[in-house]
Chain A
Amino acid sequence: MADVSSATRGDLRLTRITKTYGDFTAVNDLSLTIPEGSFFALLGPSGCGKTTTLRMIAGLEEPTVGSIHLGSTDITTKRPYQRPINTVFQNYALFPHLTIFENIAFGLRRRGIKDVDADVNKVLELVELPHLAQRKPTQLSGGQQQRIALARAIVNRPALLLLDEPLGALDLKLRRQMQIELKWIQREVGLTFVHVTHDQEEAMTMADTIAVMNEGEIEQMGSPADLYDNPETAFVANFLGQSNLIKGRIEGSDGDNLVVDLFGQKIAMPKKRSHAVDNSIYAGIRPEKFRISLVGTPTRGNILTGGRIEDVSYIGVSTQYQVLMPWGQELMVFEQNDDGVAPFDKGDEVVISWEPNFTFALRGDEDAEAGTEVIPEDLDEE
């Protein structure tokens, strides 16, 4: 379909990109390689620079410093229409004066392709809306507009498809459905997708690789499982799901494990999951990795004693507990309601245990609250 030369196919490389607006640095010395054919997510809170990064890739902004390469071609200063890159805009930006058919054919016609019918109809089939071809965008629901915006972009077979919060305006149920469909379409067409979102669940559901951005820089990049199980910073630990971060000290090592002292209680954790620089650490454990048992019942793995249940919230599939520890910290515990045992009660004296492998360690000088209090995203900002 597309007559994009092979020189502009391949991996996308951002090299030491900085973008400043006056005194404000939106993106700071960012380097990133997005492999061809992958589903890549840029995840971060509002104002972290992810949309600015996307706009620089699209050509709608020019980097203050740095270069952008697609394959072997330098596209840093190319105009948007000179790049084999298409965007699905946040609010779809469908042309209100054109029919759905003409919206989708727009890119093909601009590239001088005369016979657009076959391509347009094929992509309308792909998004399952062939019957809407002659409607105007305002006659479509939000979910339909979203699909047409996607169809309008992928019909051009771009080397790179950019998605700017594409599901932000949809309700939760439709969003879930579209997440699965987008993933399916990406496999079907085999294009590189770069997806910008502030929704960690959306990023985890869809992307092969996630780059977590914060204040114009990449905090950590990796597969969803990597980021979740082995976060390197408190921001990542807190922004992707929830974490219990307990102040501790590394006391020594035992084979592949470190021995860590948490307020006088010794635990073990794998060395390869420690991102500490000295002995002072935060030990991190995800709430669903904890097990709760009443004092006196047998336990295994790492054990922390002296807990008392402060709060119980029954959520159906699981029960959420707040457990007050002797050092004054409340730990969060999610227990699956799958063992037929009645939930514990407020005030119960309990022991917390978990598998040592599930522990990760962050630098002890981090802000343990980083990434927890993220301001709710205003979609029209940035």
Chain B
Amino acid sequence: MSAPAKQKDASIPTIPLNARISRWFGRNLISIYAVFGFTYLFIPVAYTFAFSFNDSGKSNLVWKGFTLDNWKNPCGAPEVCEALGNSIKIGLLATIFSTILGTMIAFAIGRYAFKGRSSSNLLIFLPMATPEIVLGASLLSLFLVFHINPGFWPTVIAHVMFCISFVVVTVKARIASLDPRLEQAAMDLYANELETFRKVTLPLVAPGIAGAALLAFSLSFDDFIITNFNSGTLKTFPEFVYTSAARGIPAQANVIGSAMFFLALIIVIAGQFVGKKVKVAK
């Protein structure tokens, strides 16, 4: 629109300045909004990343100078890697169990008509809607009623419990988009029920299951509230960060946090790349 304004041709009326400004805003509003939005989202991440290079000593609250020591020795602070190891172990176990159980539930709800299907569908959402603090507290009292002491396995059980709903929802969406005629075609081509599932259904639902597993892992890894009720003396990474906040979080926590962020980013980019390759092939 600036081109006609530059021309000195009298026959073309010049657009008044304020109109031009408001037009420019009209056209770029979404971009401006996006810049603000992303800034808001990523400033904390950038802050975490920057302070992972802080030569902090005990407390990592003020900038004291650049160093690579924290990255060279991420287990340098006491307990940080033990907590990380616990989180990864719990995360992996919770992911495996919740993905298997959740996928089975998703198939049952997504594929079969049975009495109580719609109420199961609703009940599955309930843990997602329940406040975590309530879930954590009631799980703890439940474990105590059964004389199970808080610790590693109660935490795993608790994590499986709240991850299942998310797995079900994710996998169910994938199953819903699956054309039932593909399974009919497989049966028509001499595949029995088990072969049909293995050769056609499962490979087609696999991306949904993989997505659900990633989601379950990140939910479990990240969880603080429910874990804090049920882990007893065991310390996970979020718990470690929380407790060290009182006496100063070591910069190693920033290193691990940043590393997790970049790992996730790499996975997403790799996923996009694979997806794009498939699309280009189309």
Contact = CB atoms under 8 A, between A and B. Distances in A.
Interface in A74-88: 79-81, 85-87
B186 to A, nearest CB: 7
A205 interface: no
B234 interface: no
Nearest to B204: A97
30 contacts: A58-B188, A59-B187, A60-B184, A60-B188, A81-B187, A81-B188, A81-B189, A81-B191, A86-B188, A86-B189, A89-B181, A89-B185, A90-B181, A91-B179, A91-B181, A93-B184, A93-B185, A94-B185, A95-B185, A95-B200, A96-B182, A97-B203, A97-B204, A106-B186, A107-B190, A110-B189, A110-B190, A110-B195, A136-B281, A156-B189
A106 B203 CA distance: 14
B192 interface: yes
A156 B190 contact: yes
Contact of B187 (A80, A96, A138, A156): A80
Interface of A: 58-60, 79-81, 85-87, 89-91, 93-97, 106-107, 110-111, 136, 138-139, 152-153, 156
Nearest to B195: A110
B282 interface: yes
A86 B203 CA distance: 23
Contacts of A94: 185
Contacts of B190: 81, 107, 110-111, 156
Contacts of B179: 91, 93
A110 B203 CA distance: 17
Contacts of A79: 187, 192
Contacts of B281: 136, 139
B38 to A, nearest CB: 33
Contacts of A106: 186, 189, 191, 199
Given A96-B204, A138-B282, A107 B184 contact: no
B182 A81 contact: no
B180 to A, nearest CB: 9
A375 B282 CA distance: 35
Nearest to B179: A93
Interface in B178-217: 179, 181-182, 184-192, 195, 199-200, 203-204
A152 B204 contact: no
A340 B179 CA distance: 57
A95 B182 contact: yes
Contact of B185 (A87, A136, A139): A87
A80 B184 contact: yes
Given A97-B204, A139-B281, A139-B282, A89 B187 contact: no
